[in-house]
Amino acid sequence: MSENTVRKIGRYEIEREIGQGGMAVVYQALDPRLGRSVAIKLIKRDAFAPSYFGMILERFKREAMALARLDHPNIVKILDYGEHEGAPYLVMEYLEGATLKDVRKPLRVDTAIQLIRPVAEALAYVHQNGILHRDVKPSNIMI
């Protein structure tokens, strides 16, 4: 890792960057207390205007608490959340594998149905619990 790279977030020891989007960076990290790999989504402070960031922190906290209550086999489990240098982060179970974005296309209809059915079941569960997922996209769906 370079000098400017994050090495720790809270108690979690960063192992590598998994991905990055406009609003956040996702890392694979080690939870030394429990000896397991986790995924950490760290919100980029510079992705938001300073006057707007306080509202982002509050919304992130509410969303983390709501997501942590979810228990469904097709939804990644939320383990923790906090702040790192003023930016919020979310700790999730780490899942090994590819995303739907990585799947070679076009897909056969039966394969597409097999892949999308668990996603639909998870979204139905989330909606039944009063949550609207605002970032459903192939790169956020693990196979």
Name the nearest CA neighbour of 80 among 129, 1, 141, 11. Answer: 11
Q: Which amino acid is at 53?
A: F
Q: What is the 3-state secondary structure (H, E, C) of 82-122?
A: EEECCEEEEEEECCCCCEHHHCCCCCCHHHHHHHHHHHHHH
- As beta bridge partners, residue 17 has 27
How many CB atoms within 10 Å of residue 90? 22
Active site (catalytic) residues: 135
Q: Are 71 and 114 in contact (CB under 8 A)?
A: no
List of residues 6+ apart from 60 with CB closer than 8 A? 43, 81, 88, 90
